[in-house]
């Protein structure tokens, strides 16, 4: 409010002073001495206001202008300025729990209190602590690193510890379900054995021709920054499995190796220290491998680490196609 008052005074005096001088000139030309006198006094007062406000802006009320603009920007984009604080709000948390004895999902609804920092995981843990301690939920780091709290929140595969409850609450309601692309165990907990099996199937490690040397490397395998940048974005995978849950092919063909494993295949293929070469591409050259991808792109949409498995898979296809064409040309 203080900044707004400064702005109104500053701009009003900036506009009023030249206007008063203009009217003063007209009054003098018209020979109206009384009016000219009044206008002269008003112009002097305007100049004084302008000077005082300018002085306050420069020294006392420094940044009043910038603060005001900042607060407007804050309201518009929700980032700058003071963050919106909705206080403590009641949210209806609807949890689709997989009941293993019945082999079916059952919905339980709980009322939870949330402020702007409460994550979906916090809300689930408060339910577990205060309302129903039989609720099964998997988590570890609570900071988007371990990848163990993946679940479907309002229809989108997400990390519960990285999703603020109030950001996803529509009409005061949030729906949480277990991921469906992984076998269900209990409530929100899924079985990742098959996921890790698929991950292992692409040999996700550095392969060196001289294994004895690798086990007792005499020095580091040097790499330039440019070489590192080739694979770095794909090395951020935390194996949360969200991309697998979002992938329509994984959901219709359980044999499809899936976006997580394929993106890691690409990561090692592009690593200049890896020496597996074309043999690595052979690991995924099948309809359940890279050619199974139909490029829905949902994997990249949900990845919390920006890995972009869809891009990795298309790059793999492109390389394999180029290689096949090269082989054909060589055969001619």
Helix (H) or strand (E) holding 70: helix 64-77
- Measured from the CB atom, is 83 or 155 closer to ligand SF4? 155
Residues in the chain: 332
309 scored as a contact of ligand SF4 (CB under 6 A)? yes
Hunting for tokens 């052979």 — which residue is that?
A: 282
Minimal distance in Å, beta carbon 311 to ligand FES?
Answer: 23
**Residue 46 binding target from ligand FES, ligand SF4, none, CB below 5 to 8 Å by type:** none
Minimal distance in Å, beta carbon 74 to ligand SF4?
Answer: 31
260 scored as a contact of ligand FES (CB under 6 A)? no
Considering only residues 88 to 147 of the shown chain, the ones binding ligand FES according to CB under 6 A are 139-142, 144-147
Among 303, 310, 313, 316, binds ligand SF4 (CB under 6 A): 303
**Residue 220's closest CA among 203, 232, 208, 235?**
208
Asked if 303 and 150 count as a contact pair (C-beta separation under 8 A), the reply is: no
**Residue 144 binding target from ligand FES, ligand SF4, none, CB below 5 to 8 Å by type:** ligand FES
Helix (H) or strand (E) holding 153: strand 150-153
Q: What's the per-residue H, E or C state across 251-300?
A: HHCCCCCHHHHHHHHHHHHCCCCCCCCHHHHHCCCCCCCHHHCCCCCHHH
Asked if 46 and 13 count as a contact pair (C-beta separation under 8 A), the reply is: yes
Alpha-carbon separation of residue 69 from 56, 66, 78, 287, 299 (angstroms): 17, 5, 13, 56, 39
305 scored as a contact of ligand SF4 (CB under 6 A)? yes
Cα-trace Rg, the chain: 32
**Residue 145 binding target from ligand SF4, ligand FES, none, CB below 5 to 8 Å by type:** ligand FES
The 8-class DSSP code of residue 162 comes to G
3 scored as a contact of ligand SF4 (CB under 6 A)? no
Among 238, 262, 310, 316, binds ligand SF4 (CB under 6 A): 238
228 scored as a contact of ligand FES (CB under 6 A)? no
20 scored as a contact of ligand FES (CB under 6 A)? no
157 scored as a contact of ligand FES (CB under 6 A)? no
Minimal distance in Å, beta carbon 305 to ligand FES?
Answer: 10
Q: Bin 293: left if φ > 0, else alpha if -120 < ψ < 50, else beta.
A: beta
Binding mask 160-199 for ligand FES (x = CB under 6 A): -x--------------------------------------
Residues in contact with ligand FES by the rule CB under 6 A: 139-142, 144-149, 159, 161
């Amino acid at each position: 409010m203080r900044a707004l008052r400064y702005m109104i005074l500053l701009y009003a005096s900036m506009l009023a002073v030249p206007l008063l001088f203009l009217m003063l000139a007209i009054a003098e030309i018209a020979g109206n001495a009384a009016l000219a006198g009044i206008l002269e006094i008003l112009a002097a007062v305007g100049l004084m206001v302008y000077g005082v406000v300018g002085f306050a802006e420069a020294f006392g009320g420094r940044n009043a202008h910038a603060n005001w603009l900042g607060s407007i920007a804050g309201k518009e984009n929700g980032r700058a300025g003071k963050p919106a604080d909705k206080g403590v709000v009641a949210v209806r948390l609807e949890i689709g729990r997989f009941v293993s004895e019945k082999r079916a999902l059952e919905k339980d609804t709980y009322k939870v209190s949330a402020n702007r920092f409460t994550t979906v995981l916090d809300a689930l843990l408060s339910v577990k602590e205060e309302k129903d301690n039989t609720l099964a939920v998997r988590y570890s780091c609570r900071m988007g690193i371990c990848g163990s709290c993946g679940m479907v929140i309002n229809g989108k595969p997400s990390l519960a510890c990285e999703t603020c409850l109030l950001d996803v609450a529509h009409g005061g309601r949030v729906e949480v379900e277990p991921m469906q692309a992984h076998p269900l165990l209990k409530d929100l907990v899924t079985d990742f054995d098959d996921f890790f099996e698929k991950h292992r199937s692409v040999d996700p490690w550095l392969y060196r021709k001289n294994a004895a040397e690798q086990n007792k490397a005499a020095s580091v395998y040097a790499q330039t920054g440019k070489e590192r940048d080739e694979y770095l974005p794909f090395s951020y995978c935390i194996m949360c499995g969200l991309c697998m849950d979002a992938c329509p092919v994984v959901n219709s063909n359980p044999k499809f190796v899936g976006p997580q494993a394929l993106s890691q295949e690409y990561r090692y293929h592009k690593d200049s220290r890896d020496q597996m070469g074309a043999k690595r591409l052979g690991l995924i050259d099948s309809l359940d491998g890279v050619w199974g991808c139909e490029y829905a792109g949902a994997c990249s949409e949900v990845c919390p680490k920006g890995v972009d498995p869809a891009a990795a898979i298309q790059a793999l296809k492109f390389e394999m196609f180029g290689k096949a064409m090269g082989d054909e040309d060589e055969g001619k």
